[in-house]
Homo-oligomer: A and B are copies of this chain.
């Protein structure tokens, strides 16, 4: 869990590479995904034959995996690290559509061009497969198509979930829910109050939740003062009172929500 503090040699390989495609952030909708890197997962799924067992490529922090509008030639699977997915608008506004975590696949739901830019938040390791290979697999192996189909449904649910979060929710609720979602990826973070990584920048979070960086800061400070969380630097978070935190998430996060979307 040294993503943030890691100083990668350099990210030559991915530097300015244009490729891949995206499926946004299937991130949130999966349950029980443990571990930090993808290899930890127990799921021996379609991705192994899709992406092969080659040594993953790497991308240094801040490097783009692909750009919004570029021809979508590849799909990517994140092996380690975190990626932000965002669009820039003519007026300069940035919207972070989501974040991709280990195990997530980018570029499946796309037609011919990437819908947004994917940028490494932390040093990233990833695997790549050509779009053609995906099509071939889809045609040959019906069960792969079914899995992809399912994935897209999950994806759809995740985006809708995010939409719900943005609707009629106070800033604190949004931030707490976001923290809980990220914490869920680190086993023990919620149940045992173990420190977990919040690698993205405050501005990333703000642009993701439709808030300003200042509001994110203030709210997290408030959560800290109220004893719900503790912080060791901006990116090391610890949940100190899970019950109250989940309450602050507005109840949905504790029981249903994830269930409801299944």
Contact of A97 among B115, B149, B163 (CB under 8 A): B163
Determine, out of A11-19, A118-126, A249-257, the stretch whose residues face the partner at the interface: A249-257
A90 to chain B: closest residue by CB: B251
A156 at the interface (CB under 8 A from B): yes
A53 at the A/B interface (Cβ < 8 Å)?
A: no
B152 to A109, Cβ gap below 8 A? yes
A183 at the interface (CB under 8 A from B): no
Give how many copies assemble into the complex: 2
Q: Are A210 and B167 in contact (CB under 8 A)?
A: yes
Say if the beta carbon of A41 comes within 8 Å of chain B. Answer: no
Asked if A241 is at the interface of the complex by the 8 Å CB criterion, the answer is no
What range describes how many residues of A lie at the interface?
A: 35 or more
Any B CB within 8 A of the CB of A44: no
Closest residue on chain B to residue A94 by CB atoms: B168
CA distance A97 to B159 in the complex (A): 11
Interchain nearest-CB distance for A98 vs B (Å): 9
Task: Tell whether A218 is near chain B: CB-to-CB under 8 Å.
Answer: no
In the complex, whether A166 has a CB less than 8 A from a CB of chain B is yes
Find chain B residues with CB under 8 A from A164 CB. Answer: 87, 95
A167 closest partner in B (C-beta):
B210
